[in-house]
Amino acid sequence: MKAQEINMFQSSTSAELPAGALEGLRVIELASPLGHYCGKMFAELGAEVILVEPPHGAKSRGFGPFIGGRPGATDNASHSLTFNYLNTSKRGITLDLSAPEGAATFRRLVATSDLVIEGERPGYLDSVGCGFDVLTKGRPQLVMTSITPFGQDGPYAQHEADDLAGIASGGFLYLGGYPDSQPVGACAQQGYAGASMFGAVSSMLALTRAELTGKGDHVDVSMQECMVLAMENAVQFYDLQGVVRKRSAGRQRFAGTGVYACVDGHIYMMAGGIGANRFWTLTLQWLKDESVPGLERLLGEEWTSTEYLESEEAKRTFMEVFGKWALGKSKAWLYAEGQRRHVPVAAIQTPADLVASEQLATRGYFVDVQHPATSKALRMPGAPYRLAATPWHLKGPAPTLGQDNDAILAELGLPSQTAAERPTSEYHPL
């Protein structure tokens, strides 16, 4: 599929669907891994989002994994699966903000917009004449959301940080991994995703105020601070029990609560321990109804004690009774029966399970996106929410490099780029 066909796909898809909740908003996103998902959420709820990349392309065009296993581009469409997922439904333009002409075009573009999402090092946009104060002179209702590793001020403000550094500096990394080894990072760039989601929520708050008052705002989002908020219940553990949470992957905290193997994978069950005591009786009744061998080993008074449930003896005994029995059952059966009996049981789904999920298929969760590098559509997650009257929808694939340069420049009353200014079709990410 050529770039022209991709554009046609975007237009026809959008025309057939009702207006989204954010229809009428124009968002300018300065390409950064910190803000891609933020821009994507706005785009697929109806806003027009214009991705502004440097002439050589966004850094994220080089993020693996890649279509066909190799970096590069086909017809200026990046092979990066990450880039292609995070930038669907956006328009695209290339501008060199370090050049006076590029900065002037950016200011002109922003003057037609409601929101700017950016992830540049604090002070950079001021240095090229595109800072918040300059941009709001002619558009006082403008909202600028700056999503950076450590925020706009403080001793770390000028430090660079990738996703791993973000989850490490925010404490989130400390909880990931096994007790007897170094921390293990969460997959799928959780630091970037968390910063983007907080950025989207705070942007909507500022946009609501701007609509009501005509006054914009500069929203300052720190990835580090977002990750501090992602540390689950670590603070509550210390407050209530005086316990500092540590890495616990692969280790059961209580007998009856944890991961158990079954005939086709694993389940997670929460039947014993703090907050789960009320499920213990229901679990015992379940095992009694199933005539599980060895059930009598779980009936002593000691099983009502949280301290005993934490012991290695209790964990070993429960595994020998429940764990051995569960090995002969499927995770679907254990999940359904646990739910029926009000025992918290969850099937641990693999990626293959999710793609084959009848539930997700019924709700149309996955979406297919064409790409010129492959005849097979890229299957991607859709939105985890639904708006009945103003639905989420995919407008089309991620923009090819410089895809909308001429169209956007024409909208601004500016001449098309010269041949020397156009991004090359031989583009390869660094």
Residue 239 has a pLDDT of 87
Residue type, 40: K
Q: How is domain 257-350 classified at the CATH fold level?
A: formyl-coa transferase, domain 3 (3.30.1540)
Question: Environment class of residue 349 by beta-carbon count within 10 Å: exposed (0-12), middle (13-18) or buried (19+)?
Answer: middle
**Tokens representing 383?**
């939105």
pLDDT tens-digit series, residues 121-141: 999 999 999 999 999 998 999
Residue type, 308: Y
User: Could you tell me which residue, 188 or 57, shows the higher pLDDT?
Assistant: 57
How confident is the model over 3-11, as a mean pLDDT?
38
What are the two backbone dihedrals, phi and then psi, of residue 49, each rounded to the nearest 5 degrees? -115, 125
Cis before residue 391, ω within 30 degrees of 0?
Answer: no
Q: How far apart are CA 403 and CA 44, in angstroms?
A: 19
Q: Is the per-residue pLDDT at 47 higher than 60?
A: yes
144 - beta bridge partners? Answer: 116, 218
pLDDT tens-digit series, residues 378-411: 999 999 999 999 999 999 999 999 999 999 999 9
Residue 353 has a pLDDT of 95
**Strand bridging mode 77-78 / 26-30:** unpaired
How confident is the model over 254-266, as a mean pLDDT?
95
Which one, of 85, 117, 247, 81, lies nearest residue 195 by Cα? 117
Residue 12 has a pLDDT of 40
Residue 15 has a pLDDT of 53
11 and 404 in contact (C-beta within 8 Å)?
A: no
DSSP for 405-429, written as a single string: HHHHHHHTT-PPPPTTTSPPTT---
Domains of the chain, residue spans? 3-230+360-411, 257-350
Residue 5 has a pLDDT of 36
Q: Which residues contact 348 (CB under 8 A, 6 or more apart)?
A: 259, 265, 266, 267, 268, 331
**What percentage of the chain has pLDDT greater than the value 70?**
93
Residue 11 has a pLDDT of 39
* Mean pLDDT score of the chain: 92
* Dihedral-angle region of residue 253 (phi above 0 means left; psi in -120 to 50 means alpha; beta otherwise): alpha
Which one, of 201, 69, 63, lies nearest residue 143 by Cα? 201
Q: Which residues contact 386 (CB under 8 A, 6 or more apart)?
A: 363, 392
pLDDT tens-digit series, residues 157-203: 999 999 999 999 999 999 999 888 999 998 889 999 999 999 999 99
pLDDT tens-digit series, residues 294-326: 999 999 999 988 899 999 999 999 999 999 999
Query: pLDDT confidence of 424, banded at 50, 70, 90?
Result: low
Query: pLDDT confidence of 6, banded at 50, 70, 90?
Result: very low
Residue 278 has a pLDDT of 80
Q: What is the pTM of this model?
A: 0.90
pLDDT tens-digit series, residues 92-116: 999 999 999 999 999 999 999 999 9
Question: Do 3-230+360-411 and 257-350 come out as alike in CATH topology?
Answer: no
Query: pLDDT confidence of 287, banded at 50, 70, 90?
Result: very high
User: Could you tell me which residue, 223 or 418, shows the higher pLDDT?
Assistant: 223
What is the DSSP secondary structure assignment for residue 253, as one 8-state letter?
S
Q: Is the per-residue pLDDT at 292 higher than 80?
A: yes
Encode 103-162 in three state secondary structure: HHHHHHHHCCCCEEEECCCCCHHHHCCCCHHHHCCCCCCCEEEEEECCCCCCCCCCCCCC
Residue type, 332: A
What is the DSSP secondary structure assignment for residue 81, as one 8-state letter?
H
Q: How far apart are CA 114 and CA 129, in angstroms?
A: 19
Instruction: Report how far apart, in Å, the C-alpha atoms of 229 and of each of 81, 167, 195, 232 are.
Output: 28, 11, 11, 7
Q: Return the CATH number of 3-230+360-411, one of 3.20.20.70, 3.40.50.10540, 3.20.20.30, 3.40.605.10.
A: 3.40.50.10540
pLDDT tens-digit series, residues 25-40: 999 999 999 999 999 9
Residue 276 has a pLDDT of 60
Q: How far apart are CA 171 and CA 42, in angstroms?
A: 29
